[in-house]
Structure 1
Amino acid sequence: MPTTRETILTVLHTLLQALPATALRGNVLPERIPASGVLILRDGEPGDPEVTLSPLRYHYQHRAEIEAVVQGADRDATFDTLTASIGSALAADRTLGGLCDWIEAEAPRPVDLPVEGAASLKAAVIPVVLHYSMADPLG
């Protein structure tokens, strides 16, 4: 049975798969970028939890990351559309079906990356903060 943390990350990845871009989890950047772009979910860092003792609960502010990458002549508009779709998907269900107390993305910081012999890439890491509680830090 998967842990709470793994369940939350799996549901977040499933949410990203519903977007027009190719959504991967923990993969390396593919050699070819589809016209709609690529999203790579990184598990990130759960950080140090706040602890309550009665009942014992570990409260996390887990920082996962979504790498958003687009390529092509119209990459600025494609990137904007892609990041807006991520925001809309997260805003539609801030609790991921009740698994989290709250989920919120931070603003991306896009960069242009040159590619020899091809159109440059536009990419950004989008931090996503997942607020959730667990009875066991390993469970």
Structure 2
Amino acid sequence: MLKNPGLAASFARLGIAQADVVEASRIGNPGFSGSALRDGGPSKITMGLSLPLSDLLLLSSKRRLAEGDYERAQQLIAAEIVTLCADVNQAWYEAAAAQQVAAMRDAASSAAAASADLARRYYEAGNI
């Protein structure tokens, strides 16, 4: 099943959805700034640290949304697997039926050839 291109693409989408869950669980990188001022007197050094407050506030919501997308991707791939199995099952029965039809036609052809041979022999013997 893993060689099926459609399922391979679905598994790739599942991996992306899983990566989105991990990404949604993380806070953005902090920012660091610094400056030094000299205007003839003592130097003024300023340093700053910033954190994305919106990431902290929205972390649980973003994670829940990403987990929902991941679950949806899991359900979609499960549905695709069930559909693929049903298609393979149907194709197997169609192939088996085609083989039986071919065998039946071969038997009918052999019977017709035998009947024609018998009729030819009756004709040659003068019975027809």
TM-score normalised by the chain length of structure 2:
0.28
Higher share of residues assigned strand: 1
TM-score normalised by the chain length of structure 1:
0.26
Structure of higher CA gyration radius = 2
